[in-house]
Structure 1
Amino acid sequence: MSGAGAPTLDVDGAGLRVTVVAASWHTVVMDGLIEGARRALAAARVTDVTWVRVPGTFELPVAARHAAGHADAVVALGVVIRGGTPHFDYVCQAAAMGLTDVAVRTGVPVGFGVLTCDDEAQALDRAGLPGSHEDKGAEAAEAALATVAALRASRLLP
């Protein structure tokens, strides 16, 4: 299981502005990722949350870029399931590079909650649904908040 060794993040996000950008493909998996992010943000006391839905994972970077101008942190959620063509590789690479570029260029932490799976069973196992072994939506939200907290604690962010 890839979640072995994950840190426990307990962050107070009160007062932070967070935007969650989420793809629309694979509804059941996306519903789980979104609910996981919603739970994690609520547990961290984040009340200022903007939700943006885009068609697919490929569109996440442009939405995250616009969101970064209005948020302390961005959480990007999506899922790409391998098929029989190279499409999987192109979309995964574009999403990873695009979201990394948004974070580096804007200085706004981006929680990476994009599942890149070989099959639907792997995606469901990571979606934070009842019976899932992992909750990647929650983990992405927690990572974004923890990064803001770390940068603020080191006085790298106001």
Structure 2
Amino acid sequence: MDRTQTQTQTQTQTHVPRPGAPSVAFVRARWHADVVDRCLEGFEQELSRLTGGAARLRVLDVPGAFEIPLAARRLAQGGGVDAVVGCAFVVDGGIYRHEFVAQTVVGALMDVQLQTDVPVLSAVLTPHNFQPTEAHLAFFREHFALKGREAAQACVQVLAAHESARAA
């Protein structure tokens, strides 16, 4: 699988997606990187398995969850990706309500896909109860790996459905 690592503030490369070889952008927040990175690992492995290694994956790092929708919109508007996935682990830090952050980000991701006609999938997850103990961290690392695999499956299914709808 071709994977391009990028940092925030870099320009999107435009390319023409090849049939059967989707180009997917994965935007990940760097807060709780040890957990979020497991989602990317699961996503990358499953996407490669489902596409026979033909998919192109571009990873874009952003500081936190709030930055994901804007990055997703820029990637989708650039025309070089078939789908975008946003990933963050939003926990209650005791300062503000994490449910608000997660809901705002997921709502904005929905707006991006409706505005750009590019599928945008969410792996922005917030636990009901989280404590930064080794037991909780181990659980959520494994949970995010699973969610990454599920996101890859959903991504391939959504792209297939969009292709069928275009052909109809």
The secondary structure found in structure 2 opposite 1:127 is helix
Deviations 1:4-23 (CA, angstroms, capped at 9, x unpaired): xxxxxxxxx83211111111
- Tell whether the 8 Å contact from 1:113 to 1:139 is kept in structure 2 after alignment: no
Equivalent position amino acid for 2:107 in 1: M
Report the Cα distance in structure 2 between the residues aligned to 1:156 and 1:61, rounded to whole angstroms: 29
TM-score with structure 1 setting the length: 0.79
Displacement of 1:115: 1.3
Displacement of 1:38: 0.8
Residue of structure 2 in register with 1:82 after alignment:
92
2:42 to 27, 36, 48: 36
Report the Cα distance in structure 2 between the residues aligned to 1:143 and 1:18, rounded to whole angstroms: 12
The structure with the larger Rg is 2
Residue of structure 2 in register with 1:7 after alignment:
none
Pair 91,154 (structure 1): closer, same or farther in 2 beyond 3 Å: same
The secondary structure found in structure 2 opposite 1:82 is coil
What percent identity do the matched residue pairs reach? 35
Structure 1 unmatched ranges of 5 or more: 1-12, 129-134
Matches of residues 58-77 of structure 1 in structure 2 within 5 Å? 58-69=66-77, 70-77=80-87
- Tell whether the 8 Å contact from 2:29 to 2:63 is kept in structure 1 after alignment: yes
**Number of residue equivalences:** 139
Residue of structure 1 in register with 2:22 after alignment:
16
The CA RMSD measured in Å over matched residues stands at 2.0
Displacement of 1:138: 1.7
Deviations 1:59-91 (CA, angstroms, capped at 9, x unpaired): 110111011122111111111012323341331
TM-score with structure 2 setting the length: 0.74
